[in-house]
Chains A and B, each alone.
Chain A
Amino acid sequence: MDTARFTSKGFLVPGIINLVILIGLATLPLYGSLYNVVLITSIMMYAILTVSWVMFSGSSGYLSLATATFFGVGIYVSALLLPNTGAVLPLLVVVLIAGLGSSIVALGVGALTLRLRGIYFAVFTFGLVILVLELLNWWEHSVTGTRGRFVMLVDNDVIFYIMLVIFILSMLTTYLIRRSKFGLALQSIGENEEAAEHIGVNVTMVKVITFAISAFFMGATGAIWATKLTYIDPYVAFNVLYSFLPVLMAIFGGMGQIYGPVIGAVIFAYLQETFQTEFPYYYMLSFGVILIVAILYLPGGLVGLIQKAWRRRPGGRHADT
């Protein structure tokens, strides 16, 4: 391994910042209020969804609107295996199964639809959420007769830590993929899929596998989120909002750097949690406006904007003056 890389300034400074943030997060339940712990749990949930979405859609050029579906699958797996009547399996096992379950769904959906053009894929995944919602409603109505399920209670600190672990794993996976030849292949698919296939990249397999990996994290997050919600029904679990919000957060935060989506998620999740109770419709409306503004004027997202400003400072490498 190239140790020079690790000791160079470019790695050391972000490395220390990462470590500080990590330690701060890991110890939060010890010094933070209940409100803050729950708030940060929510923020991490959105961050994971956003980072996972970028894992696939950021490089491949395929707009996935399936996030809500995979998230919902995770929620439902959790509800089935961790009912308030008593856990069928240990919590961590359930989270793992939820992640795997979502991955399997992703493999199926991906194998079917990733051979289609990007736009059909977007539409397909958009409809998938609505479809699953309808089917689940019908199922609960006609077959099981239940309406909603109760999920077993889990301690807030435990939820926090599991969410933190999933978050760290998702960031790690993103980093590893980016640095690997697999990630390079994914990028080439996004740049020019036909050319990629002609130089030997098995594009379908790369797309489907990345899609499945991203779904794993979405499902795992859903599973632990269900324990926070404690009551779920099809409408709570399968909500198109969870497909749109990660996209908004990623665009606003910027998809070029690994942290862009996280920053976008933190900002919007914070806004969401703060304003959801008081001005639910106004804040959603403003999200729509911000999305349009971001698309029009912020192609690199917030992180891109900051990078541009950083480069333009006097003495900076690309200073205009």
Chain B
Amino acid sequence: MPILEGEGVTKYFGGLAAVSNVDFYVNEGEIIGLIGPNGAGKTTLFNLISAALVPKPGIIKFKGKNITGMKSYKICRMGLARTFQSVKVFANISVFDNVRLGSYFGKSPGLSSADAAREAGEALEFVGLSAMSATPARDLTLANQKRLEVARALATGPELLMLDEMMAGLNATEIAQAMELVTMIRDKGITIVMIEHVMKAIMNVCERIIVLHHGEKIAEGTPQEIATSPKVIEVYLGEKTDA
């Protein structure tokens, strides 16, 4: 049974279909890439899965359970966590407390104070931000804020982690570090779905890639298959760019 699956997932904004009839599945332990030109509906799909939005129509199941329309905090406690395209750290709260919030509230059943603090420390150590524990989140560089978001998500003890453009705005060194982090996360046994534009990362790290365009799934396969698919090439190189 796939850990995450979606059937006929659709979302209209006004008359425009941001996501249209998308079927997908993710197996436990995989690293899946989600790519597509700007406006293809990738983040919308993430929003539909994490219940920031509700699909209409469509069904989404996590660990076999129908999570369509469930509240986001419940989905998180079930074991699904995510990061955001525009980094959403808690600016005026310290790095440590940012992560501690995740370990306090993201687990079911909840942790004691001491355990939550310990797990927060571990998550920070894992992403390499321990030195900045006391710093308010707003004082971090963008790359570090992204790492903070990952630490916070990891503190909730997820079985599946969705990363939304984690590498956007990073330089080459930072991208390499991020790629390493992703593999380290997978090695911990966490399934990963990642939206990315940085092709190098996607091709090297992902086992399977789903391609969206205009809200529809147009291709799915291994990096090799996707790289050589004429449909995908046309979508990325041939067509007019969408706004």
Contact = CB atoms under 8 A, between A and B. Distances in A.
A in complex with B: yes
Give chain A's interface residue range (CB within 8 Å of chain B).
Answer: 10 to 19
A258 B50 CA distance: 36
B84 A199 contact: no
B102 interface: yes
What range describes how many residues of B lie at the interface? 20 to 34
A185 interface: yes
B81 interface: yes
B41 to A, nearest CB: 19
A307 interface: no
A91 interface: no
Given A188-B93, A203-B73, A198 B105 contact: no
B73 A185 contact: no
B93 A200 contact: no
Contact of B88 (A181, A192, A203): A192
Contacts of B52: 194, 198
A315 to B, nearest CB: 24
Interface in B75-114: 76-77, 81-82, 84, 88-93, 97, 100-102, 104-108, 113
B44 interface: no
B81 A199 contact: yes
A230 interface: no
16 contacts: A181-B113, A181-B116, A184-B93, A185-B104, A188-B90, A191-B93, A192-B90, A194-B52, A194-B88, A197-B71, A197-B73, A198-B82, A199-B102, A200-B104, A200-B105, A200-B156
A9 B107 CA distance: 37
B111 to A, nearest CB: 10
A195 interface: yes
Contacts of B91: 191-192
Contacts of B102: 199-200
A198 B93 contact: no
B152 interface: yes
B153 interface: yes
A105 interface: no
Contacts of B156: 199-200
